[in-house]
A and B are shown apart, each in its own frame.
Chain A
C-alpha cells in the first residue's frame, strides 16, 4: 500500500516569504506527527495530531509556525516570514493510533532552503 507522502520534495524560498508543506498520511492512520531535521542534528519533534486536533503545540519553535489537519487526513505545516534558520528537512509521520508503541511511518520529507 501507499506510504506517507509529502510535497513538495524540495522548496527554495526567499527570506520573509511564507511556505506551506503538505503531508498525506497512510490511509486510516489517526495520528500524524511533524518533525524537523536540521543538518547534523537529530529529529526535532514539532507537533502531533490525533484526528484533527493538536493537543500539544509546544514543539513548534515560534509563532511563525502553524499546522492544521483536515478530515483526519491531510496536514499542512505553514511557516510564515521564513528565516534562514528555518532551512531543514521537514518530516511527517503517521501511526495507526496515538500510542508511542505503534510504529511511526515516516514520509521522505520536504527539504526547505531559505535564501
Chain B
C-alpha cells in the first residue's frame, strides 16, 4: 500500500526558530512531492513542491530537503513566525498518475 509517513504530529516553536517537519515514503515510484499549508476553517494551499532530481528547493523562508536514497523529504521553516501557525501536509504523487498521497499532517504552533 502506498503511504507517506509524516512526523511530528504536532510541533511548538519559538518565534524566530526553525520548524522542521519530516516525511518518509516507501514506494520508489513517487516522483513529485508538494507541501500544503492549511489554516483552520480553510482548505489546504500549496506551499512549495519538489521533484526528486533536486536535493533542495528554497522559496523565501521555506525549504524542502530531499534525500532520494533514504526516501525522505522534509520542510524547514526558517525564522518561524506566529502567522506560520497552521497544519502542514506533505504529499507524494506516483509516477504517471494524477493523484496525491498525503501524510497525516503536522500541527505547527509558533509562540510569539
| B6 engages A42 (CB within 8 Å) | yes
- Interface residue SS majority, chain A: loop
Given A100-B32, A100-B97; A91-B43 close (CB under 8 Å): yes
Q: How far is the CA of A44 from the CA of B3 in the complex (A)?
A: 11
Given A31-B98, A43-B102, A100-B98; A4-B93 close (CB under 8 Å): no
Total CB contacts across the A-B interface at under 8 A: 56
B residues sitting closer than 8 Å to A (CB atoms) are 4, 6, 32, 36, 41-46, 49, 89, 91, 93, 97-105
B98 interface neighbour in A41, A48, A105, A109, Cβ under 8 Å: A48
A104 at the interface (CB under 8 A from B): yes
A106 interface neighbour in B41, B45, B49, B105, Cβ under 8 Å: B45
| B102 engages A109 (CB within 8 Å) | no
Contact with B along A34-53 (1 / 0, CB 8 A): 01000011111100101000
A65 at the interface (CB under 8 A from B): no
| B32 engages A101 (CB within 8 Å) | yes
Q: How far is the CB of B31 from chain A (nearest CB, A)?
A: 9
Q: How far is the CA of A50 from the CA of B103 in the complex (A)?
A: 24
Q: How far is the CA of A31 from the CA of B46 in the complex (A)?
A: 16
| B46 engages A104 (CB within 8 Å) | yes
B102 interface neighbour in A4, A42, A56, Cβ under 8 Å: A42
Residues of B within 8 A of A99 (CB): 98
Q: How far is the CB of B22 from chain A (nearest CB, A)?
A: 14
Residues of A within 8 A of B97 (CB): 100
6 A-B pairs with CB atoms under 8 Å apart are A33-B99, A43-B91, A45-B99, A45-B102, A106-B43, A109-B43
A72 at the interface (CB under 8 A from B): no
Given A48-B98, A105-B43, A108-B43, output 7 extra A-B contacts at Cβ < 8 Å: A42-B6, A42-B104, A43-B100, A98-B98, A100-B93, A101-B49, A104-B46
Q: Which 4 A/B pairs are nearest by Cβ-Cβ distance? A: A106-B43, A42-B102, A43-B102, A42-B104
A93 at the interface (CB under 8 A from B): yes
Q: How far is the CA of A93 from the CA of B104 in the complex (A)?
A: 18
